[in-house]
Structure formats: C-alpha cells, structure tokens
Copies of this chain bind each other. A is one copy, B any other.
Amino acid sequence: MGTTQLESVQEPKYWHLKTVLSEALDSDFAVGEILPNERDLAARFGVARATLRQALEQLELEGRLQRRRGVGTTVAPPRVGVAVSTGQRDWSGGAAGEAWQPVGCSTAVAPASVATELGVDGDEPVHIVRRIRVAQAQTIAAEQLYVPSSSVPGLSSIDASSGPVRARSVLRELHRLGLDGQDRSVELGSARADDAKELDRLPGAPVLVVTTRYLAAGGTVALSVATYRADTCRLTFGDSGDLEISHHGQERQAS
C-alpha cells in the first residue's frame, strides 16, 4: 500500500505522462507561463499527441493548467482556499467586502427536489435570490438561494419585483430570522449554462456543488445551491466558525 510503483495496477500511459509533466511544471515552469504547443510537447516527452492531450486534460481537471482562449495553455496558480464557514451568517445584504454579492432576484417555481426540501408545494413560487462570490477579481461561485414566501412574511410588496434591490430586501428579511443552524453537503457536479456563464467556464465544466440548508423553527427556511469552480477552488471548513487555516501555503480568502 502507498507505493504506487509496486502495485500491479492498470495504469494508463497518459497517467504516467501526467506525473512526469506535473514534475516538469514544478521544476521548469513558473505560474502563468505559456506551455509549448502540443506538437513540441509530444516530441519532447516522446508520446503520441492523443496521450499528451489526455494528460493535459487531467492536469487541467486538477487545476494545474489553465486553457485560455487566445492565449494557450498556461501554468495555473495554486488553488484558492475558500472558507465555507459553518458559523457564518452570510446574507446580510452584500455590503462592500462581503463574500457574496446579490445580482438578482426572481419569483418562480423551484425544482422539485428543492420544493421538497423546503416543504412547499411543487407549484408554489418561491423567491430565488441569485448571488455571486468574487475573489481576486474572479467570480469563483454562483448561487441560487431559494426562499419560500413563508420565511419572509415581512417582505414589502411595494419593492421592485426583481433585480439586486429586491434581492437585498429578501436577504434583509432573512437576516431577521433567528437561525437554529445550518448543514451542508458538497458534491461533484457540472456547470449549468447560466452558472457557467457567470463563472467564465463552458457549460458542463466540473464544479463543486455546495447545498446549504438554513434551519429555524424546526424546518428549513431557505436552501442555497452554490456552484464553485472546481479548477480553481479548494473549499475549507473549520472546526468552529473562526478556525479556518489555509493548506499548503496557499492564499486564504477573506470571507
């Protein structure tokens, strides 16, 4: 166990190449540097173009490389550590410096699984607040926050019916609720078209989907589905709300 070389495991050729390339990235290339073209790289490592391409795709998946239109393949910076604090009450309305920025709000029927979680009828419209999270001038996450009308009874109907102003009103009302707690799950997903656009990715790009249930009065008062770029983000969880330390010397995000 633990010593790959001794295992008689089926290991594809591109996988070995990936390891070799990864070491070359560490030793011979700087962050942001543009890689030689595929033809030259394949020649340098003595492999077929198809094998090289598979290895490059793997390294992109792992966040070591970035493919940028019009630039080429560059060496990616280390993944950004993003605090997903369990203590945090992150909907106070989007003042400067806060993690999440509201960008819109609509009222629509939620997906069936969301409606079930929220305990609303499948055809009952809910408020859908749309927020993005920005770090280092890049959008790293896009979120849909589903809020049943019953959770925000004080919401004024005089407000704008959509847009960031409406989003802030919903968040303000939510903020007034005392929360009993929240729980989260993290799973692998692929970016939907609208999220992909926010994240500057193609639809289908791998993302980390963080689903958060906000609990109060014995039920779920809001449900957040947040989509983080899997290529650039490492999600961090602390033991308590304020014990979050970055790993591997990577930069920590203010949250």
Q: B-contacting residues of A (Cβ < 8 Å)?
A: 1-4, 7, 9-12, 14-15, 18, 58, 61-63, 79, 81, 86, 103-104, 106, 108, 113, 116-117, 128, 130, 144, 181-190, 192-194, 196-197, 202-204, 206, 208, 211, 213, 215, 230-231, 233-240, 243-245, 247-249
Contacts and interface: CB of A to CB of B under 8 A. Distances in A.
Given A2-B128, A63-B188, A181-B240, A193 B249 contact: no
A132 to B, nearest CB: 10
A234 B10 CA distance: 27
A239 B239 CA distance: 9
Nearest to A184: B237
Given A4-B192, A187-B230, 18 more contacts: A1-B130, A2-B108, A2-B144, A3-B194, A7-B194, A10-B202, A12-B202, A12-B203, A15-B193, A15-B203, A18-B204, A61-B206, A62-B188, A181-B238, A181-B239, A185-B237, A188-B206, A188-B231
B235 A187 contact: yes
Contacts of A2: 104, 106, 108, 128, 130, 144, 194
B4 A194 contact: yes
Contacts of A193: 4, 7, 9, 11, 15
